[in-house]
Amino acid sequence: MALALSLGRRGMGRVWPNPNVGCVIVAGTRIVGRGRTADGGRPHAETQALAQAGEAARGATAYVTLEPCAHR
């Protein structure tokens, strides 16, 4: 979760109108995806992390600094 918080902070002041969000996806003991809300607010952190993780995201755990978003 500390890594997700750190990722989210990287967007401070640049992600309006969305909040700063960080996401880390962990499968077992391995980080398989990470992301933050991009400058301008899109894409969201979860979208970036899931794209990076690919199939490794199945059955993994997502640590997100805000409730997970269902928007694309």
- The pair of structure tokens assigned to 12 is 């401070």
Rg from Cα positions in the chain: 11
Q: Which of 46, 49, 64, 65 is catalytic?
A: 46
Is 55 part of the annotated catalytic residue set? no
Active site residues: 46
